[in-house]
Amino acid sequence: MTTSENDGSGLTRITAPEGVAPGHGYHHVVWGTGRFVAVSGQCALDEKGEVVGEGDPAAQARQVFENLRRCLAAAGAGFEHVVKLTYFMTDTAHFPAVRAARDAVLPPHLLPASSAVVVSALFRPELLMEVEAYAIVPEPGGR
């Protein structure tokens, strides 16, 4: 079992539980104690609700992670507190762009548990992806 308990986030991450192949680009298990934060799926919409980067997976992924950052900040959290990301993409070809945007905000030792799902469409046809997040923010005075 590989863990990273002392990364300053108050979370424990397990890359390879006994009998499970190591995760590549995610941790299989992440846990902690504190305040739970759920962030609804974020798409590539700007503050006016306009699509950013129509047809451009990289631009959309960057906007999605910026929206996630803003939502987490509104709850007093940051990417270091994220324990789970769920990706919804209209095409697996968009996954490298999503990973690049994620890697720009999350170093490898802080990667959360993750799931990726290919969907036939999102609520607007020009959107290529949606990402939701769960976070745990340590209570003041906690570890």
Residue whose token pair is 């939701």 = 132
Mean pLDDT of the chain: 92
Q: Could you read off the pLDDT of 78-111 as tens digits, one per residue?
A: 999 999 999 999 999 999 999 999 999 999 999 9
Q: What is the pLDDT of residue 142?
A: 55
Q: What is the pLDDT of residue 141?
A: 64
CA–CA gap between residue 77 and residue 69 (Å, rounded): 8
CA–CA gap between residue 13 and residue 32 (Å, rounded): 9
**pLDDT higher than 50, residue 6:** no
CA–CA gap between residue 64 and residue 131 (Å, rounded): 7
2 — pLDDT class (breaks 50, 70, 90): low
Q: Could you read off the pLDDT of 37-59 as tens digits, one per residue?
A: 999 999 999 999 999 999 999 99
Note the Cα 79 to chain centre separation in Å.
8
Q: Could you read off the pLDDT of 109-136 as tens digits, one per residue?
A: 999 999 999 999 999 999 999 999 999 9
Query: Which domains are delineated in the chain?
Result: 35-137 (3.30.1330.40)
DSSP alpha helices (H): ranges in 1-143? 57-74, 95-105
